[in-house]
Amino acid sequence: MSQDSPPASAAADTVLRLQNVESSYGPIKAIRGVSLQVARGEVATVLGSNGAGKTTILKTISGIIDPRKGSVVFQGQDITAHDPAAIVRRGLSHVPEGREVFPLLSVRDNLLMGAYTRTDRDAVARDMETVYGYFPILKERAAQDAGLLSGGQQQMLAISRAIMAAPALILLDEPSLGLSPRLTKEIFEIVVRINRERGTTILLVEQNANMALNASDYGYVLENGRIVMEGACEVLREKDDIKEFYLGMKDEGVRGERRWKKKKTWR
């Protein structure tokens, strides 16, 4: 390789790149100049409180919302404002907030719906067994209507349906929403297994910073529609502002004196 050759293509290892993306609901700017990237094979997370713009980022990536500015590049192709169905066919699965399953279809048929773009029937059957391995309760209840599942089981089904598409990237919107701490832990453990065992790249957005930072490799902090901090999750976990404002850890000092800064500085 000559001195002038590009580095072993950084672009080839980037599954998703958002550049300066701005999306609005009428006059309300929900995200403002968001730039982020997700490397192939990693779990990345966007942390942020209620209304920070996390869901809007995912909807903009999957084509549900057209951005006012900026670009979304997936596997080297510009998919900005493309049709959501076309984006799914390119290999991107979105598990929306609120675990939307088809309530009147059986659990098994919900899973098959996830695989509707695939023609490799043997691999689909193998993936079905794999998701039943991750979530045995779905196998037990395979013939039942999905609407009869509990909230946690519907979340399992929504994630499993995404896996059935054999995507290059899964977008996960607040998998912990409305779930008990035990179920949240179980679901995050499976998310990590899916990433490690299948090599699936995952971008998850979460208010539960503790779970998200433990499950992810790289994180972004979103406030009022802007990225205010980013870094490897092991580094973010040690930042004072993250500890205080997202992990709920306050160092009270020996005489109850607060040592953490009261104002967020994002350094």
Ligand X SMILES: Nc1ncnc2c1ncn2[C@@H]1O[C@H](COP(=O)(O)OP(=O)(O)OP(=O)(O)O)[C@@H](O)[C@H]1O
Query: For binding to ligand X (CB under 6 A), which residues are involved?
Result: 25, 28, 30, 48, 50-56, 97, 207
153-167: b or e for each residue (b if 16 or more CB lie within 10 Å)?
A: bbbbbbbbbbbbbbb
Q: How far apart are CA 15 and CA 19, in angstroms?
A: 13
Q: How far apart are CA 166 and CA 194, in angstroms?
A: 11
Our CB check for ligand X shows the closer of 52 and 166 to be 52
Our CB check for ligand X shows the closer of 34 and 146 to be 34
Q: In whole angstroms, how close is the CB of 29 to ligand X at the nearest point?
A: 8
Q: How far apart are CA 254 and CA 235, in angstroms?
A: 26
Our CB check for ligand X shows the closer of 48 and 63 to be 48
- Judge residue 30's burial from the number of C-beta atoms within 10 Å of its C-beta, 0-12 exposed, 13-18 middle, 19 or more buried: buried
The helix (H) or strand (E) run that includes residue 179 is none
Our CB check for ligand X shows the closer of 32 and 141 to be 32
Residues in the chain: 267
